[in-house]
Amino acid sequence: MCRVTTPGGATDVDVLVVGAGITGIYQLYRAREAGFSVQLLEAGGGVGGTWFWNRYPGARFDSESYTYGYLFSKELFDEWEWQEHFAEQPETERYLNHVVDRFDLRRHIRFGAKVTSAVYDEASGCWTVVVDDGTELRARYFVAATGVLSVPFFPDVPGRENFRGESHHTGLWPPEPVDFTGKRVAVIGTGSSGVQIIPVIAREVESLTVYQRTANWCTPLNNRPITPEEQRQLRADFVAIRETLNTSVSGFLHPVHDRATSDDSKEERAAFFEKMWNSPGFSKLTSNYTDLLLDHDANAEWCEFIAGKIRSIVKDPDTAAKLIPDHRFAEKRPPFVAGYYETYNNPNVSLVDLKQTPIVRLTEHGIETAEGVREFDIVVWATGFDFGTGALSRMGIRGRHGLALTDYWADGPKTFLGVQTAGFPNFFFPGGPHAAAGNNPRYNGDQVDFITDTLVYACEHGYDTIEVDPAAEEEWTNMIDKRASLGPFGESSYFFGTNIPGKPKRYLLNSGGRPKLFSVIAEVVETDYQAFKLSRTSGPTG
Ligand code: NA7
């Protein structure tokens, strides 16, 4: 039984978790099961994290539901019947509420509690965390599970505050439904969120104008209900599914292809691309030709295949041309869609290409571009997030000698395993910068498991202070930088932070994926946590 906190001692709680998203909930569960006292603070009014805030119409998984949900309990896996291969946001929010109640976690969670500062105290080895209502909590371990896509980005468009109609960001969607019926609506942004909401609201609005800066390579999600037979099979295959997911580089079930484009004739390639087009979600990335992301011609041929699809779906050739990207496939994170291109055949839907006619400003009643003003009742900002470091850099985190995390990371994040940074003892951030790329809950879960095991190890060996060795941090961070170009994504993607003005251009993911994470974790364990400085700051344990 690991307990660090003593009644009336230096801390209120052993482990303070911030964020009730899928990672924070799991961290709460694991730390409590290990015997620590745990408190979770959540800024929102309910659990879900991403699946609480992104409640815009059409928001849904593009990882398969049963590969995204938790795998730590077979009973949980058995009893929760996902309705669709790619669940919509309300189902996911219900699922996460079910998990919290099933494992009696709600009593450890405080909602509406936004952290404004978190400061390390060297004398006691504890963190003092302040909430926006002024409450202070002292914790031995501070775990920020605050997510990588949790700080919505609003571009600095002149006059944005002047618009007098309704404005909503997809990542900050209101709990009460937005009524689009008969409204003139603008959607700015055509990333994964924009292309999800566009076809859904197009059915309700009077008119829809899409403001697109960069076209994206969208391919069909190919979602469908899970049949009763599939439900039975999923349960029968639980162990095999978990094994496949736990050994997969990106945390998906999709099998890796064994052929390069040059292994097939032109006709065979066309047939294979058709198969990819009809395959579910991310398999277009994970199960495509092995040279797709490495060979320019291979990538260009797949792009030309998708461009052909766009031309065949979208009736107006000018609109189709605007919808065809000029970057390679996977330069940006590819979105998956249902009826997106078809939407542009509706007479009430139009597309503005911001590369030809940039936004000049927002007026009180609409949007002005180089071609004039269009008036709207509702403007939807689907303009993305401050990825990776956004939330961590807004929490007032200070480590040893009062060093601000934002100063230490001024040139980009420095981490070990994407879980700790030197000079900030007892602070962990699973699911933050330098995690792997792929199905988030899988590798975020790996990090939570590692953090919990580390806390238990420290506790069992009489330590209560854990701080990564700067040399280990440097090695991991160099590995991230060195392998940045090996990842699927390009420098114009938000994975390099380039969507945020002024943000340093650094790769924010671990291109080594889960295999690299697992191999370094194994080394850490074999060497008795040599990558960390373990010490004792407080008195005897309670
Ligand atoms: P994304 O993928 O970052 O997309 C944001 C979109 O907003 C993208 O099309 C941007 O164009 C556009 N954008 C950003 N700034 C502007 C300005 N100033 N003017 C016009 N358009 C702009 O965010 P999403 O929310 O769609 O998806 C994020 C993740 O959520 C996604 O990857 C999934 O994991 C779920 P740009 O490409 O920068 O030219």
What is the spatial distance between Cα 452 and Cα 86, in angstroms, rounded to a whole number? 30
The residue whose C-alpha atom lies closest to atom 38 belonging to ligand 1 is 499
Write out 81-144 in H/E/C secondary structure.
CCCECCCEHHHHHHHHHHHHHHCCCHHHEECCCCEEEEEEECCCCEEEEEECCCCEEEEEEEEE
Three-state DSSP at 357 gives: coil
pLDDT at 8: 60
Please answer whether residues 18 and 130 qualify as being in contact, where contact means their C-beta atoms are separated by less than 8 angstroms.
Answer: no
What is the spatial distance between Cα 364 and Cα 411, in angstroms, rounded to a whole number? 38
The residue whose C-alpha atom lies closest to atom 36 belonging to ligand 1 is 214
Cβ(63) to ligand 1 under 6 A?
Answer: no
Cβ(354) to ligand 1 under 6 A?
Answer: yes
- How many A from CA of 420 to the centre of ligand 1? 28
Interhelix angle 296-313/266-277, rounded to 10 degrees, is: 60
Cβ(147) to ligand 1 under 6 A?
Answer: no
Cβ(466) to ligand 1 under 6 A?
Answer: no
Which of 214, 383, 494, 495 has the most ligand 1 atoms within 8 A of CB, as the residue to mutate?
A: 383
Cβ(189) to ligand 1 under 6 A?
Answer: yes
Cβ(314) to ligand 1 under 6 A?
Answer: no
Three-state DSSP at 42 gives: coil
- How many A from CA of 2 to the centre of ligand 1? 44
- How many A from CA of 188 to the centre of ligand 1? 9
Which amino acid is it at 81? E
Cβ(495) to ligand 1 under 6 A?
Answer: no
Which of 22, 153, 192 has the most ligand 1 atoms within 8 A of CB, as the residue to mutate?
A: 192
Which of 88, 197, 213 has the most ligand 1 atoms within 8 A of CB, as the residue to mutate?
A: 213
Instruction: List Cα–Cα distances, 266 to 27, 260, 336, 388, in angstroms.
Output: 49, 12, 25, 40
CA angle, residues 392, 395, 399, in degrees to nearest 5: 80
> Can you point out the beta strands (E) in 263-405?
336-337, 349-353, 359-362, 366-369, 372-375, 378-381, 397-398
Question: How many other C-beta atoms are found inside a 10 Å radius of the C-beta of residue 356?
Answer: 10
Exposure letters 141-165 (e unless 16+ CB within 10 A, then b)? bbbbbbbbbbbbbeeebeeeeebeb
- How many A from CA of 164 to the centre of ligand 1? 23
* Tens digit of each residue's pLDDT (9 = 90 or more) over 21-33: 999 999 999 999 9
What is the spatial distance between Cα 508 and Cα 498, in angstroms, rounded to a whole number? 11
- How many A from CA of 401 to the centre of ligand 1? 38
Cα four-point dihedral sign 164, 166, 170, 176: positive
pLDDT at 7: 54
Please answer whether residues 128 and 138 qualify as being in contact, where contact means their C-beta atoms are separated by less than 8 angstroms.
Answer: yes
Interhelix angle 440-460/22-33, rounded to 10 degrees, is: 30
What is the spatial distance between Cα 329 and Cα 191, in angstroms, rounded to a whole number? 14
Cβ(149) to ligand 1 under 6 A?
Answer: yes
Cβ(382) to ligand 1 under 6 A?
Answer: yes
Cβ(334) to ligand 1 under 6 A?
Answer: no
Three-state DSSP at 15 gives: strand
The residue whose C-alpha atom lies closest to atom 20 belonging to ligand 1 is 213
pLDDT at 188: 98
- How many A from CA of 493 to the centre of ligand 1? 9
pLDDT at 260: 98
pLDDT at 436: 82
Cβ(490) to ligand 1 under 6 A?
Answer: no
Q: Which atom of ligand 1 is nearest to the CA of 196?
A: 26
Interhelix angle 440-460/513-526, rounded to 10 degrees, is: 10
pLDDT at 5: 65
Please answer whether residues 77 and 103 qualify as being in contact, where contact means their C-beta atoms are separated by less than 8 angstroms.
Answer: no
Cβ(383) to ligand 1 under 6 A?
Answer: yes
The contacts found for 72-76 with CB under 8 angstroms, 24 or more apart, are 72/26, 72/29, 72/445, 74/238, 76/102
Q: Model pTM?
A: 0.97
Where does residue 401 fall: left (phi above 0), alpha (psi -120 to 50 degrees), or beta otherwise? left
- How many A from CA of 193 to the centre of ligand 1? 8
Cβ(390) to ligand 1 under 6 A?
Answer: no
* Tens digit of each residue's pLDDT (9 = 90 or more) over 455-470: 999 999 999 999 999 9
Cβ(433) to ligand 1 under 6 A?
Answer: no
Rg over alpha carbons for the chain, rounded to the nearest Å, is 24
DSSP state of 256: P
Closest to 103 in 3D by CA, of 115, 111, 95, 114: 95
pLDDT at 250: 86
Please answer whether residues 41 and 115 qualify as being in contact, where contact means their C-beta atoms are separated by less than 8 angstroms.
Answer: yes
Cβ(191) to ligand 1 under 6 A?
Answer: yes
Q: Which atom of ligand 1 is nearest to the CA of 193?
A: 26
Please answer whether residues 182 and 203 qualify as being in contact, where contact means their C-beta atoms are separated by less than 8 angstroms.
Answer: no
Question: Residue 512 has which token pair?
Answer: 């080594």
DSSP state of 288: S
> Which residues of the chain have a pLDDT value below 70?
1-10, 539-542
- In this structure, what is the dihedral angle of CA atoms 443, 444, 445, 446, given to the nearest 10 degrees? 50
pLDDT at 10: 67
Which of 52, 499, 500, 509 has the most ligand 1 atoms within 8 A of CB, as the residue to mutate?
A: 499
